[in-house]
Amino acid sequence: MKCKMCGFEFDENKLENRGCSSCGKHGCNSIHCPNCGFANSPDLEQEFEFILKLKDKLKNRK
């Protein structure tokens, strides 16, 4: 995963407790960057991938 805030790349599967050591929400669906602590949402990442693919398809139709 690449952090949307600082660009640091890390393996989210190797993080203990999804990197939630500094998160006060406990149980959120975010994966916290070990570099900056930003809460990256895996759900949003999948949605952005879908949007980018859709944009490419629409762009190629012209």
Confidence check: pLDDT of 3 > 70: yes
User: Over the stretch 17-38, which tens digit does the pLDDT of each residue have?
Assistant: 665 655 666 667 788 888 988 8
Within a 10 A sphere around the Cβ of 41, how many other Cβ atoms? 14
Of the listed ranges 15-19, 36-40, 46-50, the least confidently predicted one is 15-19
Residue 15: its pLDDT value, please? 82
Residue 16 φ then ψ, to 5°: -80, 130
pTM: 0.58
What lies within 8 Å, CB to CB, of 2 at 6+ separation is: 8, 9
Of the candidates 14, 47, 13, 12, the one whose C-alpha atom is nearest the C-alpha of residue 33 is 12
Return the pLDDT at 25: 64
Q: What percent of the chain has pLDDT over 90?
A: 11
